[in-house]
Amino acid sequence: MSDEPVLLIDDPADHVRRLTLNRPSKRNALSHGLRSELFDALRAADRDPDVRVVVIRGAGSCFSAGYDLAQDPTERPPWTISPADGGWARHVLQGWFEMMDLSVPIIAQVHGFCLAGGTELATACDLVYVADDAQIGYPPVRSMSSPDMGWHVWMMGMRRAMEAMLTGDSMSGTEAVEAGFANRSFAVEDLDDEVLAIAARVAKVPADLQALNKRVVHRAMESMGMRNGMRATADINAIGFHQPSSIEYHRRFAEGVTTALSSRDETFGDYRTAESGSS
């Protein structure tokens, strides 16, 4: 086990708290330990009267490649996971809804891979800024089940959501902006500075007013059924794991994580099997 902290915390500008996912060798996979520390830090920022905006980014080559598929069984999850069918999806939704309910605005700064659970983390943030060449997608729909958090329709509309669900293909950062998943995209070398400049503008508004401004948008989405829709589609996620295709995938997965993921994507020629060698 590495002695390096899995979450780095700094204050790069006045009233700005920055949280950096720090498992670069694991592509910032969202382990129980990392998610627990992330939520503890978010709650601390929400309580801190000097923090007016939080930025979440990833160390190394990407934002996050999703949930940790080789989870350390000794790490505690952020909340108890029910053993009942669908317990995992309900568990992660609880976290993403908590982020939406925090008073402090949260910005996702996305570069490189933003996959599966990584897209859920970004969606739970209030603003999303991405590198032009980021890769944003939900490949588990090809082999495992539908998403834990069905953000696709709410962020992108029916047609784009359907295409993403039926192919598992990724979007670039520029495509993600055009589709409605992200606010703006920037050259990767400019992303840090651009996000900090936006965070500084957000921080100019007093925190008590920003809490209300954030709530307006979330309450409007809730009145249109967003949370009920995400809960309903989380139940469908549980059904997916009982399908023959998913059972076969998990059999291969038990024999080797890398082989199973490569087999999933090789016919599409993307993600870890792309000609560029990325994984």
53-98 pLDDT, tens digit per residue, is 999 999 999 999 999 988 888 999 998 899 999 999 999 999 999 9
Say what the pLDDT of residue 2 is.
60
Does residue 223 sit in the same domain as residue 87?
yes
Tell me, what's the pLDDT at 279? 32
Size (the chain), residues: 279
Residue at token pair 């996305």: 110
Confirm whether 139 is domain-assigned: yes
143 and 182 in a single domain? The answer is yes
Domain-embedded: residue 214: yes
Confidence (pLDDT) at 69: 87
Residue-range definition of the domain harbouring residue 270: 243-279
pLDDT digits (tens, 9 = 90+) for 156-208: 999 999 999 999 999 999 999 999 999 999 999 999 999 999 999 999 999 99
Query: Mean pLDDT, to the nearest integer, of 227-245?
Result: 94
CA distances (Å), origin 195, targets 57, 74, 187, 266? 10, 35, 12, 34
Q: Domains in the chain: how many in total? A: 2
**Is 276's pLDDT higher than 70?**
no
Strand order, beta sheet including 135-137: 113-115, 135-137, 171-172
> Quick check: is 2 in a domain?
no
Are residues 238 and 255 both part of a single domain? no
Q: Are residues 152 and 238 in the same domain?
A: yes
In terms of domains, do 87 and 127 share one? yes
Q: Same structural domain for residues 237 and 263?
A: no
Q: Are residues 131 and 236 in the same domain?
A: yes
On the question of pLDDT at 260 being above 90, the answer is no
The rounded mean pLDDT for the chain is 94
Domain check: are 204 and 270 in the same one? no
Regarding whether 156 and 223 lie in a shared domain, the answer is yes
